[in-house]
Structure 1
Amino acid sequence: MKKIVLVLLLGLAMLTLISCTDKDDKNNSKPGGEISETVTPSVTTAETVTPTETATPTVSSDNENTEHVLDYFPYRENKQYLYEGKGNEYASFWSYADYQDKDSGRIQLRLDNGGTQTVQVLEGNNNGISIIVSKEECYYRDNLLKYNSVEEPEVLLKEPIKKGTEWTLSDGRKRYISDTEKEISIPIGKYKTIEVTTDEKEGKTKEYYAKELGLVKREYTTNGMTVTSTLKEIKDTPLIQNLTLYYPNEDEKMLKEAKTIKFNTNDITRLKVQELLREKHEGKQGLISVGTSLNSLYEGSDGIVYADFSKDLISDMNAGAGFEQMLLQGITDTLGGYYGAKEVYLTVNQKPYESGHIILKKGETLKVSK
C-alpha cells in the first residue's frame, strides 16, 4: 500500500494538466529560480504578467479537422478544479491557477491532495504540453512563470494528436496516445477525450483530456488494484490562504492574529501581504506605515525569505529602540511564518537595514522566533 501511495503522489506531482537549483547570494536579493516580485527597475516584476482571459488558445490550420494540444490546455482564471478519488486516500485533490500568461503559454498550478501542496508550471505550445517547474511542499505563493527548474521538461501531451503518437520520459517510462475518441462520463457531463497511457514498472496510468477542460480523469492500475481521480466540479472562487500576523502592543508584548488572504489568478502576493502589514492594531499603527511599500518579497533557493521595503519603513516608524526591535521581529515572524522559513533578509531599497537604533550588516538575516 505504501508503494501505491508513493506512485500516486508522484503521478499527482508530475502528470496533472491543469526546487529550483540556482543558488544566489543573499546580497543579490534575487530568488534562486523564483521570480522576484519587485518594483526595482532592474528586476522583472510580477506586474508584467498580463491577466489572461479564461479561454483556450487557438492555432490556425488549413485543415479544420486537425486537433492541436493547445485545444486541451485551457486557461483557468479564478477556477478551482475538484477531483474525487477512489482507491486511495490521496486520490482526491484540487488544483488552482496561481498565475497564467497567455503570451508565454504558461500556467502555474497549485495542487492539493490533502497531504501536501505541489506547485507546477506548465507550458503549452504547438508541439506539446510540458511541466517545466515542479516544487513540492509549497504552501506559499511566489510567481514562478519565468523560470525552468527541471532538467528535462516532462511532456504530458504531444502532437500529432493521433493514436500511436509515442514519446519516452527522462526516467525511461513510455507514454503514448492510446485513443483519440474515448468517451468518458464524469459528474459534470460526458466528453470525448484523448486517452494518454504511461507504462509504469509495476502498473499503468491512463489519463483522459477533454477539449477546453484539460485533465478530466486519471486511472492507475497495478496488481489488480485501481486508483482513480475524476473531475467532479469546477468552482469560480478565489484561492484562500492563511497568514498569522505578529505585532507588539503598547506594553511591548507580542500578540498574534490569524488572517486569511484571498487570491485571484495573477494577484500579486506582496501587495496582499503589504496590505496586512499596514493594518492598524488596537487603534495604533500597523507593523509598517500606510506610506511604506513592500518592494519585493520571495523565498530564495537557500530557504531564506527576502523582503525589501521603501525608506518609509524607517522614517515613519517613530519608535524607541526596544519597540523598533519588536516591530522588526513582528515583521520577521509574520513573513517567515507565511513561507515556513527560519530566516528573513530584510533590506531597505536593496540596502541593509540601518536606523538610529539598529544596524544590520550586509547579508545579516533576522531569525524567525515563532
Structure 2
Amino acid sequence: MKKKIYVFFTILSILSVVTACSNMNSKEELKGEVLEEKEDKTETEKIEEMSKVSDYFPFLQNTLMVYYGEGNEYAEQRVYFDYIEDNKAQIRMINAGTEVVQILEYKDGELRKVYSEGEFYHIKNLLKEDIKEDENVEILLKEPLKVGMSWKLPNGENRTITGSGVEINTPYKKFKALEVTTELGDKEKQIDYYVKGIGHVASIYSSADFEVKTLLESFEENKPLVHSIRFYYPEEEGTKLVYKNTDFQFRTNDSIESIFESGFKNPPSSKEISLISENTKINSIVVDKEDKIVKVDFSKELIEEMNAGSSLETQILNSMIYTFTNYYGVDKVYISTDGKPYSSGHYEIRENEYFTREDENIEELK
C-alpha cells in the first residue's frame, strides 16, 4: 500500500514539473512574440523616418488612379499627372462636378501644394508659365516621417502624422500606410493615408453627423488620360463649317501643340478640308485668362503652303478660331507665324489685334 502511494506521488511530481516547464516555455514564447512585434514596429517606424516625402507621394508618369467615393457625390474621382518637371508636378483631379489642377512640389523635406485652380477643363502646362504661387502654401507631408510630427496649416489647423504601418482597406487592396490627421474643428477631422511607391490611397472625412470616404479603386500604369477637343473644319468647297468632338489620348508631358497639329491635319473624312499643311508646326499656345485671349504661333508654312483663295482662307481661319475659343473658353485668338503677326495678303493683323468668333449655324458631323 505504501509503495503504491509513493509511486502515485512520484508520478504527480513529474507531471507538475512538466506542466511548470511547459507554462514557462509558453510564457517565454509569448514574451518572444511580443518583443518581436515591438521590434518589427520599431523597425517600420525607423524605415519611415528615414524615408523621403517623395517615397510616400511619388510623381507618377502615365498612371491613372481611380478612387471610389462614399458619403458624397463628389468623393469619387480620377487623378492624373499632366506634367512632371524635376521637383514639381501638375496634377489633375476629376470628379462629378469639376476638374481641378494643382501644382505640387518637393522642397526642404516637404510636399507642398503651391497652386490650385478649379474649372480647369483644358490641357495647359502651368509649370512652364510664370504662375503666382498661392499666398497660403499648404504642406501635405513633412519630414521626418515619424508619428507625432506636426505642423500648422495657413488657416491655423493642425496636421499630424498619427500612425505608422496603419492598416487601411481599399477596393484596390489592403495597405499598411502612413496616417496623417488634420484637425478641422470640434468633432471634425480628415485622415489621409499614404503608401510607399503609390502615394495617396485614402481620405476619410468625419464629423459628428456624417462621414465621407475617398478610397483607391484602381491603379493603372502606362495608361493615358482620354481627353476631348471639338475640332471645326470647312466642308467640301468651303461653303460651310462642321465640327467633330474628337477623343485623344494624353500622356504625361505630352505636347498640346502636337495634339492640335494632328487634329488640324487629319479631318474626320475626305469631305472635310485640312486646316494646315503637313509641314506646318504649332510653335506655341499661350492662354491669357484675364484678357480672354489665346495666342497661337505657327511656323511660316501656315501661310506659305495654304494654297487657298480668300473665301476658303476665311473658312480655315474661322475653323481655327472656333476650335481654340471653344477649347480654352476665350473670346479672342491672336495668330502669328514665327513670331510675326498673321499676314497673308487677304488678312493682316497687328500685334495688338486679334480674330474674334462670330456665331453662325454650324452642323455637327455625324
TM-score (normalizing by structure 1): 0.78
Q: Distance in 2 between matches of 1:113 and 1:240?
A: 14
Q: 1:188 aligns with which of 147, 172, 194?
A: 172
What is the rounded CA distance, in whole Å, between the counterparts of 1:149 and 1:126 in structure 2? 17
Q: Is the 8 A contact 2:48 2:146 kept in 1?
A: no
SS of equivalent residue, structure 1 residue 200: strand
Map 1:196-345 → 2, pairs under 5 A: 196-201=180-185, 203-236=188-221, 237-249=223-235, 250-280=237-267, 282=270, 285-302=273-290, 303-345=292-334
Q: Which amino acid aligns with 2:145?
A: I
CA distance in 1 between counterparts of 2:230 and 2:173 reads 41
Greater helix share, structure number: 2
TM-aligned CA deviation for residue 63 of structure 1: 8.1
Shift of 1:300: 2.1
Offset at 1:316? 1.3
Which is worse superposed, 294-303 or 86-95?
294-303
Residue segments in structure 2 that go unaligned for 5+ positions in a row:
1-45, 360-366
Distance 2:240 2:115 in 1: 42
Give how far 1:188 is off: 2.4
Distance 1:251 1:108, change over 3 A: closer
* Equivalent residue number for residue 346 of structure 1: 335
8 Å Cα contact 2:289-2:330 kept in structure 1: no
Residue type of the alignment partner of 1:257: K
C-alpha displacement of 1:243: 0.9
CA distance in 2, matches of 1:312, 1:119: 34
Deviations 1:285-335 (A, max 9, x none): 511111111110132242321111111111111222222122111101112
Distance in 2 (CA, whole Å) between partners of 1:64 and 1:169 is 22
Q: Structure 1 stretch 141-150 or stretch 269-278: which is displaced more? A: 141-150
| Structure 1 residues without counterparts, runs of 5 or longer | 1-61
**Which residue is 1:110 aligned to?**
92
Is the 8 Å Cα contact of residues 246 and 257 (structure 1) preserved in structure 2? yes
Find the aligned partners of 2:295 and 2:69 in 1 and give their Cα distance.
Answer: 38
| In structure 2, C-alpha distance between the alignment counterparts of 1:327 and 1:369, rounded to whole Å | 14
Please give the per-residue CA displacement for 1:134-171, whole angstroms capped at 9, x wherever unaligned. Answer: 12111111112244531232110011111221111122
Task: Flag the 1:159–1:138 CA change in 2: closer, same or farther, 3 A.
Answer: same
Q: Which residue of 1 aligns with 2:106?
A: 124
How many Å separate the matches in 1 of 2:81 and 2:238? Answer: 43
Which is worse superposed, 346-355 or 360-369? 360-369
Give the SS at the match of 2:175. Answer: strand
RMSD: 2.0
Do the aligned residues in 2 keep the contact of 1:95 with 1:109 (CA within 8 Å)? yes
Structure 1 contact 68–126 (Cα < 8 Å) conserved: no
**Secondary structure in 2 matching 1:325:** helix
In our comparison, the structure showing a higher alpha carbon Rg is 2
**Residues 183-192 or 228-237, more deviating:** 183-192
Mapped to 2, the partners of 1:63 and 1:361 lie a distance apart of: 61
Distance (Å, rounded) in 2 between the aligned partners of 1:179 and 1:66: 15
Residue identity opposite 1:248 in structure 2: P
> How many residues end up aligned between the 2 structures?
307
Asked whether the equivalents of residues 172 and 216 of structure 2 are also in contact (C-alpha less than 8 Å), the reply is yes
Residues of 2 paired with 1:359 and 1:67: CA distance? 59
Q: Which has the higher contact order (CA 8 A, sep 6+)?
A: 1
Aligned partners of 2:342, 2:51: CA distance in 1, in Å? 56
TM-score computed with the length of structure 2 as normaliser: 0.79
The 1:232/1:284 distance shift into structure 2, 3 A limit, reads closer
**Corresponding letter in the other structure for 2:110:** G
Q: Runs ≥4 in structure 1, deviation > 4 angstroms?
A: 62-65
Q: Counterparts of 1:195 and 1:342 in 2: how far apart (Å)? A: 46
The 3 A distance-change label for structure 1 pair 240 and 369 is farther
Tell whether the 8 Å contact from 1:70 to 1:125 is kept in structure 2 after alignment: no
How far did 1:214 drift?
Answer: 0.9
CA distance in 1, matches of 2:298, 2:250: 22
Q: What CA distance in whole angstroms lies between the structure 1 residues aligned with 2:330 and 2:224?
A: 25
| Structure 1 contact 69–126 (Cα < 8 Å) conserved | no
Q: Which amino acid aligns with 1:117?
A: E
Q: Secondary structure at the match of 2:126?
A: coil
Q: CA deviation at 1:100?
A: 1.3
Counterpart secondary structure, 1:172: coil
Residue matched to 1:92: 76
- Contact 2:102 2:117 survives alignment (8 Å): yes
Please tell me the residue identity of whatever aligns with 1:353.
Answer: Y
Q: Which secondary structure state, in structure 2, belongs to the residue aligned with residue 96 of structure 1?
A: strand
Give the 3 Å change call, closer, same or farther, for CA 64–72 of structure 1 in structure 2: closer
Secondary structure, counterpart of 1:328 in structure 2: helix
